[in-house]
């Protein structure tokens, strides 16, 4: 359906005293530009807010509702997948799985992460009873059908988008993930590039676990790394993600991951050990990544200067550094019976 036909249909429905749902099915493609509105009439703190983009490492775009991020007026839907052509990214589910509430991050990337699939459907606006088009979440690639999109408090009054699996009954008592409906709001004119509120794209601020307030985490003079040899892990250095390695679209560590407000290097090592992984790496202050191998092109350099890239303080310990802007503070589990020694940097 094109935008003109949609406008006529919606206008006609608005004249009626009650919303009538058309019987014709909608295509899984929307070629006209639109904004994605969030609806949950029972939760005024998120109801009728809009999806914003926030630039992250490696060209990824994190998804928030205000005040964080830049409003986007030119989303499209291709085979059920939300696309943002100007950035060359699409909506995917992956990374930052939370064991507390079993939700997973929804974000946009140009990589091959599992795509989030939506189906446009007609529905009635809960406030005005006018006809609208919703994006009903169907599945993400290679996963069972069902589930919901939810938003969870992040920082500075913002909420991040996440995937809530079917049959899940877990909740985070400190950060409830609120189930929401995504609604297509057609846009006929694009605003000036400068419109909307944005934060610096150099880093995503971390939330302090002690104060609950956002703090800027990067520093310019990182000190020595955290020694984990007593815990059976050697420090390898500061490893690049694909943004800096320029060797293909894949994660340096592609196993389990989590994102927490209490992230530390020893905590990440314990998280990865419990899941049987050989490598553990921290990134963006609050992220922990695990894996069984590291590509040769991603292996850290052994110069002191190379450590300057991993200069973001850990959310769980301001005396430690947990990676940087698409850089991993990387550790390897030592083999039983061998000397566990950190790499020497010169």
Residue ranges in the chain modelled with pLDDT below 50? 1, 8, 11-17, 189-222
CA distance 308 to 306: 5
The pLDDT, as a whole number, for residue 57 is 67
CA distance 188 to 166: 36
Q: Which of 186, 218, 242 is the last residue of a domain?
A: 186
Is 57 inside any structural domain?
A: yes
The pLDDT, as a whole number, for residue 198 is 29
> Do 251 and 112 sit in the same domain of this protein?
no
Distances (CA, A) of 177 to 50, 90, 94, 302: 16, 22, 16, 42
Is 287 inside any structural domain?
A: yes
The pLDDT, as a whole number, for residue 325 is 78
The pLDDT, as a whole number, for residue 206 is 25
Is 194 inside any structural domain?
A: no
Closest C-alpha to 107, from 287, 268, 227: 287
> Do 103 and 220 sit in the same domain of this protein?
no
The pLDDT, as a whole number, for residue 285 is 85
> Do 111 and 25 sit in the same domain of this protein?
yes
The pLDDT, as a whole number, for residue 54 is 87
Is 344 inside any structural domain?
A: no
Q: Which two tokens stand for residue 32?
A: 């006209």
The pLDDT, as a whole number, for residue 69 is 83
> Do 142 and 250 sit in the same domain of this protein?
no
> Do 23 and 158 sit in the same domain of this protein?
yes
The pLDDT, as a whole number, for residue 247 is 81
The boundaries of the domain holding residue 216 are 206-333
179: domain CATH number is 2.80.10
Q: Which of 128, 157, 186 is the last residue of a domain?
A: 186
Distances (CA, A) of 211 to 64, 67, 207, 314, 315: 22, 20, 8, 15, 11
H-helix or E-strand containing 267? helix 265-274
Please count the structural domains in the chain. Answer: 2
> Do 38 and 159 sit in the same domain of this protein?
yes
The pLDDT, as a whole number, for residue 8 is 46
pTM of the model: 0.55
> Do 175 and 231 sit in the same domain of this protein?
no
Is 94 inside any structural domain?
A: yes
């Amino acid at each position: 359906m094109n935008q003109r036909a949609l406008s006529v249909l919606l206008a006609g429905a608005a004249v009626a005293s009650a919303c009538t749902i058309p019987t014709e099915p909608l295509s899984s493609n929307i070629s006209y530009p639109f904004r994605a509105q969030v609806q949950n009439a029972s939760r005024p703190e998120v109801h009728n807010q809009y999806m914003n983009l926030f630039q992250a490492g490696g060209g990824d775009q994190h998804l928030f509702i205000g005040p964080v991020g830049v409003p986007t007026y030119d989303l499209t839907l291709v085979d059920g997948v939300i696309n943002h052509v100007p950035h060359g990214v699409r909506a995917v589910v992956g990374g930052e799985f939370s064991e507390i509430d079993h939700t997973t991050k929804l974000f946009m990337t140009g990589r091959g992460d599992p795509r989030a699939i939506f189906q446009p459907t007609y529905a009635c606006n809960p406030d005005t009873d006018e006809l609208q088009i919703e994006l009903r979440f169907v599945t993400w690639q290679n996963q069972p059908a069902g589930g919901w999109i939810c938003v969870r408090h992040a920082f500075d009054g913002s909420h991040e988008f996440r995937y809530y699996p079917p049959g899940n009954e877990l909740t985070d008592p400190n950060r409830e993930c609120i189930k929401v409906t995504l609604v297509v709001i057609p846009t006929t004119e694009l605003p000036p590039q400068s419109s909307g509120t944005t934060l610096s794209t150099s880093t995503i601020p971390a939330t302090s676990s002690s104060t609950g307030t956002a703090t800027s985490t990067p520093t310019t003079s990182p000190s020595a790394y955290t020694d984990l040899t007593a815990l059976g892990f050697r420090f390898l250095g500061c490893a690049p993600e694909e943004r800096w390695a320029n060797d293909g679209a894949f994660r340096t560590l592609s196993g389990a991951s989590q994102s927490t407000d209490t992230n530390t290097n020893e905590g990440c090592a314990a998280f990865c050990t419990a899941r049987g992984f050989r490598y553990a790496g921290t990134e963006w202050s609050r992220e922990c990544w695990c894996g069984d191998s590291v590509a040769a092109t991603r292996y850290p350099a052994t110069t002191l200067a190379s450590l300057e890239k991993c200069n973001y303080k850990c959310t769980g310990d301001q005396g430690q550094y947990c990676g940087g802007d698409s850089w991993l503070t990387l550790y390897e589990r030592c083999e039983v019976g061998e000397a566990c020694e950190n790499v020497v940097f010169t």
